[in-house]
Amino acid sequence: MTLDRSIISQSQTAPSPATDPRFAPEWKAFSFETGHFLLHVPSSHVLDVSAELAAQVRGETSDPVAAAELTRLSAVLPRPPVRTIVPDIRAISLNMAQGCNLRCTYCFAGEGDYGTKGMMSFATATAAIKLLAADKPNFHVVFFGGEPMLNFAVIEQVVAWCETEQPSVTFSMTTNGTLLTADKVAWLRTKKFALNLSYDGKGVHAKQRLNKDKVSNSEALVERKIAAFGDQLAVLREFRLRATVTKEALPILEASLVETLTTKNYKLFVSHHATSERGVEFSSDDVDFLGQVFKRVIDRFLASSDYLRLLKLENIQQAVRQIHRGKTGGMTCGAGINYLTVSVGGSFYLCHRFNEDEGERLGSIDGGLDEEKLAEVATFRSAKQAPCNTCWMREWCAGGCMHEHKSAQGDKFAIDPRFCQLQNLELEQAMRVYTVLLEKAPHLLTSHAK
């Protein structure tokens, strides 16, 4: 619980290095329909404050009383130690099939093959798990592709092998859903899988997820699969729909998102797509438009007090959870820190999107991990260099998505401002939802934000 109205009246107890540049900016102000709030950036505490204090933080006023109050608060609030991030791989995705039965317009893997077609063998998959999971009490394997279900027989063998050789391994799969059958769904349940099913939403899916002929699309088929198996998938260890948004889908995105959240009672994560193709990449205006779509969708569910449906939108639910927990020291993702991807031939890369990008190769099942390259990523995440060092989201982000940066700037460590723009729009809305839930439905923070 981070919203601490009482802290305002606490006495000064802790020394405060308020002038330490590592902790600037110290505050971020928000004004919503629920009131005025400050985020204490170093500690992720949220404070319910007066309009005057919020105005002071925004630089709209220069009031000595408000300034003194901020100094006092600053001295009271904790400052978690600066964290040094050390690589410790705890999860891998196995590219079981570098090939796909669809031809999605935005596929970062070309036609699902990453330029190197093939199916992962049982020997490669188990060698990777043996090497990276050895002696680890918990390890997670994601079956990925292309479309991993094209290689389902080997997935079954790998899971069976883990049950005897590496029983601590848990499993998930990311699939386009087209090859789901009753038998496969039953097997996924038995093996306690988590499943991410790619479904972009009505109309958007039809536009983006084409069949092999590149003319017809997979929307009706995937919707039939969700209708047929949704109830059983919903009781898997975890189940979510994953929608990818492209520039072309923006005009119909709002209606599509509302439709999915209203008619499909599953978690939904929306990811926007980075691309290095200049003609279809998101401009700053597109990101702003996307943020406005998110806001209008949130407005709609808040207006009808349909908080449960709103919390199905994982982009918001996950952020609300970290705000509620007062999370510090977070990262956008664990790529190269606690997660990497294994190509069909047994090479390691930062994450699934970097698969077969030779410049980002992190070793292989034969040569082991490239510790030097892993250390570079850890340094990038730990250092929080400009612009992250002065960003109000730095305790939750620490450098953003390296793939988005590389697609946009050619360098995975060169922050793409459009990533930050979108984070800003999303996290501000999450903060707003958090303050509404605190006021209107605090029980949901306990049940959904654990």
Residues that bind ligand SF4 (CB under 6 A): 332-333, 335, 351, 353, 387-388, 391, 393-394, 397-403, 415, 419-420, 423
Instruction: Name which of 269 and 307 has its Cβ closer to ligand SF4.
Output: 269
Instruction: Name which of 80 and 387 has its Cβ closer to ligand SF4.
Output: 387
CA separation (Å) from 170 to 93, 140, 349, 442? 12, 5, 21, 32
Give me the least distance between CB of 440 and ligand SF4, in Å please.
29
Instruction: Name which of 92 and 302 has its Cβ closer to ligand SF4.
Output: 92
Give me the least distance between CB of 156 and ligand SF4, in Å please.
26
8 Å CB contact between 289 and 248: no
**How many beta carbons lie within 10 A of that of residue 177, not counting itself?**
22
Calculated CA dihedral for residues 317, 319, 322, 327, nearest 10 degrees? 170
Instruction: Name which of 201 and 334 has its Cβ closer to ligand SF4.
Output: 334
Give me the least distance between CB of 363 and ligand SF4, in Å please.
17
Task: Show the tokens assigned to 200.
Answer: 């972009």
DSSP collapsed to 3 states, the chain: CCECHHHHHCCCCCCCCCCCHHHCCCEEEEEECCEEEEEECCCCEEEEECHHHHHHHCCCCCCHHHHHHHHHHHHHCCCCCCCCCCCCCCEEEEEEEECCCEEECCCCCCCCCCCCCEECCHHHHHHHHHHHHCCCCCEEEEEEECCHHHHHHHHHHHHHHHHHHCCCEEEEEEECCCCCCHHHHHHHHHCCCEEEEECCCCCHHHHHEEECCCCCECHHHHHHHHHHHHHHHCCCCEEEEEEEECHHHHHHHHHHHHHHHHHCCCEEEEEECCCCCHHHCCCHHHHHHHHHHHHHHHHHHHHCCCHHHHCCEHHHHHHHHHHHHCCCCCCCCCECCCEEEECCCCEEECCHHHCCCHHHEEEECCCEECHHHHHHHHHHHHHCCCCHHHCCCCCCCCCCCHHHHHHHHCCCCCCCHHHHHHHHHHHHHHHHHHHHHHHHCHHHHHHHCC
Give me the least distance between CB of 405 and ligand SF4, in Å please.
8
C-alpha span between 274 and 282 (Å, rounded): 8
Instruction: Name which of 267 and 406 has its Cβ closer to ligand SF4.
Output: 406
Instruction: Name which of 375 and 420 has its Cβ closer to ligand SF4.
Output: 420
Instruction: Name which of 228 and 420 has its Cβ closer to ligand SF4.
Output: 420
Give me the least distance between CB of 401 and ligand SF4, in Å please.
3
Instruction: Name which of 30 and 229 has its Cβ closer to ligand SF4.
Output: 30
Which string of b and e fits 151-168 if b means at least 16 CB within 10 Å? bbebbeebbebbeeebee
Instruction: Name which of 157 and 332 has its Cβ closer to ligand SF4.
Output: 332
Instruction: Name which of 46 and 185 has its Cβ closer to ligand SF4.
Output: 46
Give me the least distance between CB of 383 and ligand SF4, in Å please.
11
Give me the least distance between CB of 76 and ligand SF4, in Å please.
25
Instruction: Name which of 126 and 343 has its Cβ closer to ligand SF4.
Output: 343
Give me the least distance between CB of 164 and ligand SF4, in Å please.
30
Give me the least distance between CB of 63 and ligand SF4, in Å please.
28
Give me the least distance between CB of 307 and ligand SF4, in Å please.
26
Give me the least distance between CB of 267 and ligand SF4, in Å please.
17
